[in-house]
A = this chain, B = another copy of it.
Amino acid sequence: MKDINQFTITQAVKESFKTEPGSRFESLLHGLVEHLHDFTREQNVTHEEWMGVLNFLYDCGKISTPERHEFILLSDVLGWSSLVDMINTKGGATEGSNLGPFYLDNAPVKQLGGNLADERDGVTVLVHGKVSNTLHHPLPGATIDTWQADATGTYPIQEVDQDKYDLRGKFTCDENGRYYYTTVLPKPYTVPYDGPVGVLLRAGTRHAWRAPHMHFIVTAPGMAGITTEIFFKNTEYLDNDAVFGVRQSLIADLKPAKDIDKLGYTLDKKPDAVIEFDFVLAPEG
């Protein structure tokens, strides 16, 4: 019988999986086992610490529901989600950022120039810009799918007395690849901190606030879609966003609404302020 010890067990575990040599599954599995085992040897993990980790994961499972995925939140606060976004950003394209937990894939279709916020309180802002490819050619017919919090930092989907489709919309860009609509300026909010991830944040004396932002999924035929967020200059938590979502390139200027008539848009509501942000998509594959 072959004996295994704390140094040979890693190879034994890898060999126990009869994976296709060179396959993606093998690479991921072997990498996972190596890092898990290396971490354990480097740290001399005790039984109490080992069980502490497993019970933490158990607790994350127990608080999770189809509407609340505590493991995504854990990934967020460990910067894992953002790292995956960064790695998968294509050269020349707009940087990716957190999808977050509030996306709905069937947001209502809206007309360019429409207002997402109805009569909600807050600063009304015109959000506009161009969607182009990496050669700066506009992409007419590109789709902008956006969702956001309101001026109190709340997503309608979080409230029992609100329509979960509020503050969401899908827009199709015009023949020049332009999009434009009005909405309210969102405020900061906290990620949920009443569960195991909250315990972790408190243990590390970390806050749960996110810098204010709007979410976007931008797609166009033949192009790789992007999931990202737009942030706003001079707002709170840009330097210490709880989920590491902020990138310099994703921070937009927020300017008073003057001379907007020159833009030639037909708007349903008069804005107080303007945000201009251009999205760039790279080819698929």
Contacts and interface: CB of A to CB of B under 8 A. Distances in A.
A267 B140 CA distance: 89
Interface string A216-229: 00000000000000
A69 interface: yes
Interface in A71-95: 71-72, 75, 78-88
A46 interface: yes
A284 to B, nearest CB: 14
Contacts of A44: 87
A177 to B, nearest CB: 25
B84 A4 contact: no
Contact of A47 (B9, B79, B84): B84
Interface in A34-90: 35-47, 49-50, 54-55, 57-58, 60-62, 64, 69, 71-72, 75, 78-88
A70 to B, nearest CB: 8
Interface residues of A, number: 71
Nearest to A233: B1
A58 to B, nearest CB: 6
B80 A40 contact: yes
A176 interface: no
A216 to B, nearest CB: 15
Interface string A222-249: 0000000000000000111000101110
Number of copies of this kind of chain in the complex = 2
B42 A31 contact: yes
Contacts of A40: 80, 83-84, 87
A71 B57 contact: yes
Contact of A38 (B16, B35, B84, B246): B35
Contact of A9 (B3, B43, B86, B206): B86
Given A83-B41, A84-B47, A36 B248 contact: no
Interface string A1-41: 11111100110110011110000010111011101111111
Given A9-B244, A46-B88, 7 more contacts: A6-B87, A9-B86, A16-B206, A46-B84, A58-B71, A61-B61, A61-B64
5 contacts: A1-B238, A6-B87, A9-B244, A41-B87, A47-B84
